[in-house]
Chains A and B, each alone.
Chain A
């Protein structure tokens, strides 16, 4: 069944229509020289010319989230649960590497505890993905982690910009098909046979230079102690940039903020690159030095998470590579591991 096509210039109008139906809308917009995913902005500002600096995870796992309120009453504490918002949401213009992060992190949020703050938002969110005709950034490496510039996982709708003017539309899931009416309004024709297939092949070709990382896990599991870590990670500042821009990173910190006898419990983004992350109350810190913390980041994403959930905790979006203030490229690190493994070192 051929895909319908629409005009690229109609995308902001479609986004506006979807928002008008009482939905929360997240879309990429320009701020200065860069793009960011933002909510509550005019759909006319939709900008799909580059990969946004932040990821879509903010829509499902905000940087700070109220989870309960408490009030002391004498020796008792009254606790009031806070329900996560129940608003239908559209993420318009996610990249495939953004959408693909959702099925990767879903098992984590439903492992031993079903996190309603993520699940509620996820169940109310429709993801409309803008596939990549070419890799949008030098830093991209989705193909190295088993994905591609037109990967479908996690998406409800995939848009293929066949050229500057024409976009083919793939309504993938039930939630995607439910938007058929909204899309039909902008229908201009249908995609030619093979057009989307060409599109997919073109995207893959643009990343042909990226390494396969099939030997990385094996090397990681066998080389916990290795001078490689200290040599390779000297420049790491131990900030949270890579962690907070990453679509799959999900660590959080619980903070109680009280005023006299009552307060709010917050759930905030946290990161394993911070010095305090593993500091014990005894004063001992099993990861007291930056190379140990960076090793943990790689191990978690490329070995421990795959062991636990069967998926690599990385979609190769390249944000960590592009935006690390000291140019510590995670891709460079894992590609170096692959090389060491291939050489039998």
Chain B
């Protein structure tokens, strides 16, 4: 049985040769031992650049925002289960037309972070074998999610008093340098003009002082509430190691509790924070 890398290359080569797609976004070998880099291949003979291994941590869906890809009729994209979830979000929000993207899904036993540890999302993964795809590479992998993995880290924060929590986040946000790697890496940060880039009026202070950093990080987390699929692209990209996923998981927990909704599962679903329903709970305002 050819391995995942071989299968991905074969499918990509075929798609590029018969014109199914104009280009394929995937991963290629990086410049260091445990890195891979996102790559755009445009011809069948370039398909051999594509690889898949436990270092394929980046979520490639973020590249679907690029004008170079938006201008193409059909784009192929290699995707792990978590990446597919974010694509489902993009389709729900009409950011990507389903028939313009060919999903080359790949089964995935989990990736490794730069320090060799296993990300929380992999410990909690239910989509090792993606079900939403055009073609899929790799032997099926049985999902064995740890039911506590995602919410375990929140217990420490839950146990803090409000003042302690403020102190915790103040320390973390003080590190922020406003590089916006979190935003750029996130597949669901899709605004052509981010709120932090507007100055009429200036909604968010751009200065990386504590007040500005609180504003930025909280607003970004809120803008992703009910949309974030916990792919961890943001936290992985952050150069100053802010535990962004704590916020994202806390908000996901609230959305699940209040709306019984989990993003990234059903392309037909209507995300609760973007949908008006007559039976919306109004008890807290009326």
A-side residues, CB < 8 A to B, are: 31-34, 36, 53-54, 63-64, 138-139, 234-235, 237-241, 243-245, 253, 255, 257, 266, 268-269, 271, 274-276, 289-290, 321-323, 325-329, 331-332
Q: Determine whether the beta carbon of B206 is less than 8 Å from that of A253.
A: yes
The chain B residue sitting closest to A271, CB to CB, is: B179
In-complex Cβ contact of A325 among B208, B212, B237 (8 A): B237
B209, CB-defined interface residue at 8 Å: yes
Chain A residues near B38 (CB-CB < 8 A): 234-235, 326
The chain A residue sitting closest to B183, CB to CB, is: A239
Q: A327 with B239: in contact, given A266-B207, A269-B208, A289-B67 (CB under 8 Å)?
A: no
Chain B residues near A36 (CB-CB < 8 A): 240
Report the Cα distance A202→B136, complex, angstroms.
50
Report the Cα distance A190→B115, complex, angstroms.
39
Report the Cα distance A34→B240, complex, angstroms.
10
Chain A residues near B206 (CB-CB < 8 A): 253, 255, 268
Q: Determine whether the beta carbon of B31 is less than 8 Å from that of A329.
A: yes
Report the Cα distance A289→B66, complex, angstroms.
9
Report the Cα distance A134→B58, complex, angstroms.
31
By the criterion of a CB under 8 Å from any partner CB, how many residues of chain B are at the interface?
37
Chain A residues near B68 (CB-CB < 8 A): 289
Q: A323 with B239: in contact, given A268-B206, A329-B31 (CB under 8 Å)?
A: yes
Report the Cα distance A204→B240, complex, angstroms.
30
Q: How far is the CB of B64 from chain A (nearest CB, A)?
A: 13
29 A–B pairs (Cβ distance < 8 Å), ordered by A: A31-B241, A32-B241, A33-B115, A53-B239, A53-B240, A63-B208, A64-B208, A64-B209, A64-B212, A234-B39, A235-B38, A235-B39, A239-B181, A239-B184, A240-B177, A240-B178, A241-B239, A243-B179, A244-B239, A245-B239, A255-B205, A257-B205, A266-B207, A269-B178, A325-B237, A326-B58, A327-B30, A327-B36, A329-B31
B185, CB-defined interface residue at 8 Å: yes
Q: Determine whether the beta carbon of B237 is less than 8 Å from that of A332.
A: no
A-B pairs with the 4 shortest C-beta distances?
Answer: A240-B179, A325-B237, A239-B181, A237-B184
B40, CB-defined interface residue at 8 Å: yes
The chain B residue sitting closest to A328, CB to CB, is: B37
**Chain B, 196-232, CB within 8 A of any chain A CB:** 197, 205-209, 212
**Chain B, 53-94, CB within 8 A of any chain A CB:** 58, 62-63, 66-68
Q: How far is the CB of B170 from chain A (nearest CB, A)?
A: 15
Chain A residues near B128 (CB-CB < 8 A): none
Chain A residues near B277 (CB-CB < 8 A): none
Q: Determine whether the beta carbon of A268 is less than 8 Å from that of B185.
A: no
Chain A residues near B237 (CB-CB < 8 A): 237, 239, 241, 325
B123, CB-defined interface residue at 8 Å: no
